[in-house]
Amino acid sequence: MAVIKTLNMILGAFFMLLYAYQIFYIFIPFLKKDKPHKETKMHRYGVLISARNEENVIANLIASIRRQDYPAELVDVYVIADNCTDSTATVASEAGANVFIRHDLENIGKGYALDYAIGRIFDEQGEDYYDGFFVFDADNILDRSFITEMNKTFSDGYSAITSYRNSTNYGANWISAGYGLWYIRESAYVSHSRMLLGTNCAVSGTGFLVSKELLKKSGGWKYHLLTEDIEFSISQAINGEKVGFCKDAIIYDEQPISFKQSWKQRLRWARGFFQVFLNYGGKLFKGIFSRRWWTSYDMLVTVLPVNVITLVLAIMNSVAFTIQIANGEIGWWIPILSLLQWCGRIYAMLFIMGLVAIITEAKRIRTSTAKQVIYLFSFPLFQLTYIPVSILALFTHVKWEPTRHHGPTADAEKLEDKDEYID
């Protein structure tokens, strides 16, 4: 039993050292200032929206794009109605978007839809017609200056840029708030810190921009794992492409509100991260010994399959405790107490992380102060549910499924006015 106890201590210290830099990241925005932008150029953009049965929300997104303070003649919207069985294509067309109708029940997923659209645009408009492409999910709403702010960062020379991810329904319940606070914390204290340090950021599913040069070099969108966003980010880190972050470009995203839907979505994410590690982990490890060492290390730790080690430790400790209880060495309550203490330490760490984000980003959170405080206490509990999800993902066959959306909790006009909108 002493061996298991020693192994626990060694692995605990190892992981503490491995992820300690995440604590360091919290202090970076307070210690460094953003670099001024270079001369801003007016670029032409294509907007790509992969939509599967999104007739309830697609018009809101298109309307928020049309209300941007960026010149409308430089922005074209393309909706890929992907295997739809509803009126998504009609609604999108009536809202002013160019619509591609795609039916392919073999190559299913957002990555395939994006690749299809890029291929058609390159064929019909030419590879150099647009300077870059935005990627949004159908349920998104954009802050009015979103494209203007992203264009400033794009003019600085980045190959891809991710944005500040916020939520349309943060205050709906503890699940949507759990997602929302995580994205806000990630934007403010991971992506922003990476940007300030000059290391690569990672795109976050939606609300990002990719240059035409990068897409031409890649031959389109060739990222088709369950988490195509992190696959794209890791691939760029390996290839030496710069992925930036724009803290002033805010996108609002609808979060799941049912635990069942959340469980299925995060199961796909966990399995997708494992796929990315298996496909790219070796190259990232090699990159640690190159001039891109910090980006490689940061991205490797991001996709590291800690769920495997967590499962092994759980089995080892369960066996050890069972033997000790059977031999009368300890009481049955000791394992339970040990588990509660472990969860308590994680809860405290997550609570502090959430508290820092709440204090500094409160004005950007679209819900009442009371709900911000209440859901701060449930935030660590929501994050702790990732543990069984990530372990189950090791043994579960997961396929891509669309997330159902119902629309924002307030209309798009109010959502864009940050001073008036309260969830």
- pLDDT over threshold 70, residue 227: yes
Q: For 9-63, how does the pLDDT look when each residue is reduced to its tens digit (9 = 90+)? A: 776 777 778 888 988 999 999 999 999 999 999 999 999 999 999 999 999 999 9
Radius of gyration of the chain, Cα coordinates, nearest whole angstrom: 22
**Position 118: which residue type?**
I
Distance, in Å, from the CA atom of 166 to the CA atom of 256, rounded to the nearest integer, reads 13
Q: What is the pLDDT of residue 421?
A: 34
Q: Summarize pLDDT for 269-320 with one digit per residue, the tens.
A: 999 999 999 999 999 999 999 989 999 999 999 998 877 777 777 777 777 7
CB atoms within 10 A of CB 77: 21
Mean pLDDT lowest for which of 66-75, 216-225, 350-359, 403-412? 403-412
CA distance 332 to 56: 53
Domains of the chain: 1-403+411-423 (3.90.550.10)
Q: Quick check: 7 pLDDT over 60?
A: yes
Other residues' Cβ atoms within 10 Å of the Cβ of residue 2: 6
Q: What is the largest CA-CA distance in the chain?
A: 77
Assign 3 a pLDDT band (cuts: 50, 70, 90): low
Do the Cβ atoms of 253 and 183 come closer than 8 Å? yes
The three-state (H, E, C) secondary structure of 254-315, written as one string? CCCCCHHHHHHHHHHHHHHHHHHHHHHHHHHHHHCCCCCHHHHHHHHHHHCCHHHHHHHHHH
Lowest mean pLDDT among 148-152, 353-357, 384-388: 384-388
Which residue from 145, 248, 246, 249 is spatially nearest to 196, judged by alpha carbons? 246
Of the CA atoms within 13 Å of residue 282, those in its CB half-sphere come to 2
d(CA 360, CA 10): 35
Confidence at 345, pLDDT banded by 50, 70, 90? confident
- For the stretch 371-384, pLDDT in tens is 999 999 999 999 99
What is the predicted pLDDT for the residue at 393? 87
**The total number of residues written for the chain in this structure:** 423
* Beta carbons of 196 and 28 less than 8 angstroms apart: yes
Q: Strand 208-211's sheet: what is its strand order?
A: 98-102, 75-82, 45-51, 132-137, 208-211, 160-167, 243-253, 141-142
Q: What is the pLDDT of residues 131-151, one digit of tens each?
A: 999 999 999 999 999 999 999
> What is the C-alpha separation between 259 and 175, in angstroms, rounded?
7
What is the reported pTM? 0.89
* 257 contacts: CB under 8 Å, gap ≥ 6: 169, 172, 173, 175, 176
Q: How far apart are CA 272 and CA 399, in angstroms?
A: 10
Q: How confident is the model at residue 77 (pLDDT cuts 50, 70, 90)?
A: very high
Q: Predicted confidence band at 358 (pLDDT cuts at 50, 70, 90)?
A: very high
